[in-house]
Every structure is written in C-alpha cells, then in structure tokens.
Amino acid sequence: MYINREISWLEFNQRVLNQALRPELPLLERVKFLSISASNLDEFFQVRVGGLMLLRQTGKFKPDLTGLSPSEQLELIRHRAGEMVNAQYHLLQTVLLPLMQEAGLSPLPMEDLSEAQQAGLEEYFISNIAPILTPLAMEVEHPPLLPNLSLVLGVELQPEGSAETRFVVITLPEALPRRVQSAVLGRGGYVMLEDLVAAFCPLLFPGETVLSTTPFRVTRNGDIAVAEEEGGDFASEMESVLVARKFSDCVRLELPAGTPDKLVARIASIAGADAGSTYRVPGLLRLVDLGQMAFEPGNDQHKVQAWTPCWPAGVDPSLSMFENIAQGDILIHNPYESYEPVVKLIEEAAADPDVIAIKQVLYRTARNSRFIAALCRAAETGKQVTVLVELKARFDELHNLAQAERLQRSGVQVVYGVKGFKTHAKILLIVRRENGSLRRYCHIGTGNYNENTARIYSDLSLLTCNEHLGADASQFFNSVTGLTRLMRFRRIYPAPTTMKSRLLELIAAETRRAEQGERALIRAKMNSLNDVEMMNALEQAAEAGVKIQLNIRGICCWAPTSEKAQACTRITSIVDRYLEHARLFHFHNGGNPLVFMASADWMSRNLDRRVELLVPIEEPQLSHRIQDILAACFKDNTQACDMAPDGSYHPAASHKKPFAMQAHLQREARRRARNQETDNKRMLEPHRPKKQA
C-alpha cells in the first residue's frame, strides 16, 4: 500500500511534537521539541506546500502515488496541519507557558509591568529599537514586499482630523533579540519584542492615533527550481533564484486568533493570501524562537543532562591522523564519539608538506567552518585543492555562494556540481607523498562536513586508506569534475548510475533465499522511503517471507499490503535527543552479511536525481558495529514508534525492560573509550618479572 508523502511527513512531525508532550522530560527540552516541530512546519510550507500550489496553478500534473491531485493534497494538508497547529498551541498555552511562568522563564505581559518598568522600557525602546525600525505604508501604488518568515507588526492608524484610516507595517529586524531583556525587568525577566514595539510604536507616528496593532507572519514559496538547461553561469543562476524566492507567492499567513476580521482581510489582501492559506493561532507567532532558550547558558535544571562525546577508541590522539588511518580503517559514530578527528584530518592535511592534493564535496557547512578555513590555507600554500560546492542545498544557497567565493579567492578550484543533478555525496580525498609514492586517504560519511550539526546529528564516518576505495574516490572526483559518466567502480556504488540497481539486486537475492526456504533478512536505517521500485521490491520480498526491519525517521510511503507481508515486516521511527541521520543497510546474504553505509535515502530524488555514494563496510569489526547499531534500532521500546498497516504510528511495545537506542549507543561509546584507555595504560606499564617461589 502506498501512503501520501505529505501526510507521512506531517505524521513524522507529529512524532517530533509528541516529544514535547512527555511530562518526564525537563521543561526546556520540551520547549526545544515544540520549537523544532514549528521550524519543520515552516520548511514544509515553503517547499512542499509551495510546490503543490505551483502545480495547481499550472494545471500540469500527475496524481501522486495514492491518486491524489495537488488540490486534494492541499486540502488534506490544510486539515492535518491545522490539527497540528492547534495541538502546538494547546500544549504551549495550557502546559508549557504555565510551567515556564512557575520557573521564571515566561515572557512578562506589558500590562503587568509597573510604571517604573514601563518608563525604563520606553527609554530602552527610544535608544535601542526605534532607530532601527522602518514603518512602511502599504496602501500605496507600489507597496513594498512583506519579507518571508519575518515577524511583522501591522499598525492601523487614524491621522488627526481625518475620518479615514491607513495601514502601515513594521518589520521586526532579525538583528534585534526576540526576547528583550532589561535591568528594569529584574534578573532573567524579558518581554517579547513585538509586545514592546506595539506598546511604544505611537512614538513613531506623531499626530496620528494608533487604533490597533497585530503581529503577523508571511511564508513564501521556496520551491523554485534552477533552469540549468538554459546554460549560463550557474552561480549567477542561483543568485537569481534567491531573489525570486523573496518575491514568490504567499503560501501561509499567520495571525493571532483575536485579530478582527476586517484587519485580517486587510492583511490577507496585502500579503496575497487566500482563506485556505490563513492560519489564526492562539498565542505567540514564530515558536521556533522559543527553542533558543534550550541552547543558551544557564537554567541547567530545566535541561537534559548533556552527553559529552567520547574520543573515538580507534584514534590515538598522540599520533597524526595519517598514522592512525594507516593502522586500519576507522569508524566514528558522532555525536556519541567526537567529530574532531575528521576536522583534525583536514587541518593536518592543510599543514602537511607531504600532502599534494585535496578534493572534497561540500553540501552544508558551518557558518565559521574549519573545513573551509583549512581548504583555504591548503590552497594558499600551493597545494592542489578542488572543491565541489553544491549550490542547490536548499536554504543554504546564499551561504554556499559566499563560501565558494572565499575558496576561489584563496586559489581553490571550485566546481558547482553536475548539471541536472544535486551532488549530495559526502567524500574527502587527500593525496599524500609517502616513501617515494602516492597514498590516498579518504573520509566517506553519511552526514555533512559541518562540525556544528555533528554535535546533534547522528552520523557515521569511515576513515580509510584502502587502495580500492582510494581508487574509487579518485574516479569519482574525476567523473564529477570532468563530467564523465559515473560508471561501475571497484567497491563504491554511486547514484544515479549503479546504486539503485545494486540495492534491488540485494533485495532480490534475499527474496530468492526466502522462496527456497532459507533464512532471509533485510535491515535498513534511513530518513525517508518513497521510491516505487524499492517499495515494490520490498513488498515482493516480504510476500516471499523475507524478514524486513526498517528504521525510517521521517517519510515512509510504503506499508505492506497482505497479512503475510505485514507479519514479516516491522517499520519503526525513532525520535530522541539527537536527529537520526545515518543511512545504514544490512543484508543477511546466506550468513555472510553485506553491510553498507550511504549518503542516500531510498527516495527517487536520491537514487535517480542526485549524485550519492553507497559504500561497503568490509572490515569485520566495523561491519559488526553497524549491525549492532541496526539491532539497537529494533530493541528500542521507549522512543520508537511502530507503523501500523494503515500508515499510522503507535509507541513500540514496552512489555520488556526499557531500552533506549540512543542512551545505549552513548553507553557503548563510553565503554569503548574506557577499554581503549585501559589498553593504553597497560601498554605503558613496564614489564615486571614474575616473583620466584
């Protein structure tokens, strides 16, 4: 059975929101998950709803897998998203805000402040806020554009001596803090920026009466494609897309529930929002801002106890990364294990006089990326540095353009990806001169080269100087920079050429074993599943009796149809403190397990329209580690939700001893680190001869 992609995603976001419903979690952890669910919904409206609205406007579309038209999907989304928004605000208003008030963490209402506090805030407004604000008249021949996702204060004015009213907006600048703190409010006290501006905005309009104010927010379509086929400079094309996104259609208008109907109609007309795109919410807008409190210093009693990443057991900090990798393949599981060795590798490569070439794919990087800094240093010292920067990394395009310009100024050869495909592979190749010959060192991962998200995303890194993988890495970079076809490699399977066919072969092999009465097993961990060929192959395998275990964090468009297939299949989703991001696959293969890690989900976009990598993990110890990770996914009975045959999700059965996968993986990382420390101490101990009787 196929499940609508958009509804499946909304059900995933519901699982995120459900974390905020858990009373046993600390207060700010609950606020964090509420914030994440709101941020997710922002992106969903920009991309998925925006895309469906474009399809509806063009009239050129095919029904989705479930036979629904764009209009039918938008109606379903409107209903389900409305339920979710109501659930978010019910939780905020009835549970979280009262708890925040009790803990001294809730915003202070302006009307509850003393005269002295009001006077102090007025002085603060005049000195620190008013000079930055820019009121904009909207009822003019060419009204200015309302910005995407920004908080805007609408102000209804009546000029002195006039019966007419006029409407202006004040965009609240991102440079100003949403939670305004001042000494007059006491330690930890704050008011919301929109409340402060609304209270004192009459100072901006001398000779006029402020009749009403209301905050609102516009979400614009972010699903704007790049017309690569037209040729020209790709970087310039991306810049035009970013400009177009600022002027795109409104896909959602949010206002407070108490906004008068006439004012709603006035704002909707200016924003270009119809009734189906207008959401009235009973509380604060832009809930994502509340989540910042969970990451700021202080209030530790209201946060989960931090898990400190362990130093990877396979990495000796006293040796260079090249010496470490030369001793054997290394597998790092962040954030349970520190991502620092990966960063250390690129920084050592930049400084090492024996390194002659560095090649890397960059998809999403940190704002002050150590990877970018190291690559620039390497190029400035004369090394041959080539970087493929993916400009179509959604919502990171502007950042990636700036990073590409910085790299080019340092002498890095920058390539802007493969025409018609988004390059999503995570790979780094370093060529080093050793003993009169060249040796290749590689990093291949499931996550981005981003040292910040590596602290909150669960991903795996393989560090290797394996000759076959090194040769494949060279061939990969030659193909994507020289625009030659990604043909069959020695070990690696790239998309869009061979990855999908290899996965289908592996599923078919397990299916044949099940048909012959042999044990057959497929275990996979990914973010999303929607590719029809992959889903049909899984359905056929389950019908044949293959035991299928899928850990899919987000979208899953397949639910087994027959009772036999349902009995053989378990689909589970885990939402916990870290974002599950790794893609791992295990095929029983008649008792000789085949284990892989990949940058790709089993989605059509990844397998058919992106440049991705599927890498075998052949070293037995590392293979067993990945199998253990997969096994832990299906032991989880505290954070896991299982998919029912109708596509709904329910908490996993918990009749056994409680088991949380992420807590288990953290304990395992600590155990490996302790064992390594013990082994190191033993090696340093002097040899002591046995005592004679």
Q: pLDDT for 87-133, tens place per residue?
A: 999 999 999 999 999 999 999 999 999 999 999 999 999 999 999 99
Top-ranked range on mean pLDDT: pick from 224-228, 361-365, 427-431: 427-431
Q: Based on the domain organization, do 478 and 345 belong to the same domain? A: yes
Which CATH number fits the domain that encloses residue 541? Answer: 3.30.870.10
- 546 is in which domain, residue-wise? 494-672
Q: Is residue 677 part of a domain?
A: no
Q: Given this model, what pLDDT does residue 239 score? A: 59
Q: Can you give the pLDDT at residue 236?
A: 61
One domain, residues 530 and 548: yes
- pTM of the full predicted structure? 0.91
Residue bearing the bigger pLDDT, 142 or 233: 142
The 8-class DSSP code of residue 21 comes to T
Helices (H), 136-260: 193-200, 234-246
DSSP secondary structure, 633-693, as one string: HTT--SSEEEEPTTS-EEEPP--SS---HHHHHHHHHHHHHHHHHHHHHHHHSPP-PPPP-
d(C-alpha 489, C-alpha 469), whole Å:
9
Same structural domain for residues 661 and 635? Answer: yes
What pLDDT is stored for residue 61 in this prediction? 73
**Using one digit for the tens of pLDDT, what is the confidence trace for 212-222?**
999 999 999 87
Q: Is the pLDDT of residue 242 over 70?
A: no
Within-domain flag for 84:
yes
In this structure, the number of other CB atoms found within 10 A of the CB of residue 639 comes to 22
- What residues have CB less than 8 Å from 518, skipping those under 6 apart? 590
Q: Is the predicted pLDDT of residue 196 greater than 90, yes or no?
A: yes
Rounded-to-integer distance, Cα 574 and Cα 572, Å: 7
Cα separation, 56 vs 516, whole angstroms: 48
pLDDT at residue 597, as a whole number = 98
pLDDT the model gives residue 230: 46
Q: How many Å apart are CA 336 and CA 577, to the nearest integer?
A: 12
CATH of the domain at 4: 1.20.58.310
- Kindly state whether residues 501 and 511 are assigned to the same domain: yes
Please count the structural domains in the chain.
4
Looking at the structure, tell me whether residues 184 and 85 fall in a common domain: no
Cα end-to-end span (Å), the chain: 76
The answer to whether the beta carbons of residues 35 and 294 sit under 8 Å apart is yes
Contact 429, 454 (CB under 8 A): no
Q: For the chain, give the mean pLDDT.
A: 92
Provide the pLDDT for residue 693.
Answer: 39
271-308 residue pLDDT tens: 999 988 999 999 999 999 999 999 999 999 999 999 99
Residues 387 and 327 in one domain: yes
**313-368: pLDDT as tens digits:** 999 999 999 999 999 999 999 999 999 999 999 999 999 999 999 999 999 898 89
pLDDT at 231 (0 to 100): 45
Residue 385 forms beta bridges with which residues?
Answer: 358
With beta carbons less than 8 A apart as the criterion, state whether 159 and 234 touch: no
pLDDT cut 90: percent of the chain above it: 81
Q: Whole-angstrom Cα distance, residue 334 to residue 309?
A: 8
664 is catalytic: no
For residue 485, what pLDDT is reported? 79
Residue 438 forms part of a structural domain: yes
In a domain, 685, yes or no: no
Do 135 and 269 sit in the same domain of this protein?
yes
| pLDDT band per the 50, 70, 90 thresholds, residue 62 | confident
Query: Is 112 a member of any domain?
Result: yes
CA angle 468, 472, 475 (to 5 degrees): 140
Same domain membership, residue 259 and residue 112? yes
Where is the domain boundary, 456, 490, 524?
490
On whether residue 617 sits in a domain, the answer given is yes
Count of residues in the chain = 693
Q: Is residue 302 part of a domain?
A: no
Contacts of residue 46, Cβ cutoff 8 Å, sequence gap at least 6 = 148, 149, 219, 220, 221, 222, 223, 251
Q: Is residue 692 pLDDT above 60, yes or no?
A: no
What are the residues whose beta carbons fall under 8 Å from the beta carbon of 621, sequence distance 6 or more?
Answer: none
Residues 544 and 639 in one domain: yes
Structure confidence by residue, pLDDT tens digits, 565-589: 999 999 999 999 999 999 999 999 9
Rounded to a whole number of angstroms, the CA Rg of the chain reads 28
Catalytic residue among 90, 302, 399, 424: 424
The upper half-sphere exposure of residue 634, i.e. CA atoms within 13 Å in the direction of its Cβ, equals 16
The tens digit of pLDDT for each residue in 497-551 reads 999 999 999 999 999 999 999 999 999 999 999 999 999 999 999 999 999 999 9
Same domain, 620 and 587: yes
The predicted structure's pLDDT at residue 139: 83
Select from 107, 134, 167 the last residue of a domain: 107
Bridge pairing between strands 413-415 and 384-389: parallel
Percentage of the chain with pLDDT > 70?
Answer: 94
Q: What is the mean pLDDT of residues 642-668?
A: 93
Residue 164 φ/ψ region, left for φ over 0, alpha for ψ in the -120 to 50 degree band, beta for the rest = beta
Are residues 115 and 264 located together in one domain of the fold?
yes
The mean pLDDT of 158-180, rounded to a whole number, is 92
* Contact assessment for residue 169 and residue 240, using Cβ atoms and an 8 Å cutoff: no
Per the domain annotation, does 692 fall within a domain? Answer: no
Residues 185 and 273 in one domain: yes
Q: Select from 434, 468, 490 the last residue of a domain.
A: 490
**Number of DSSP helices (H) and strands (E) in the chain, helices first:** 20, 26
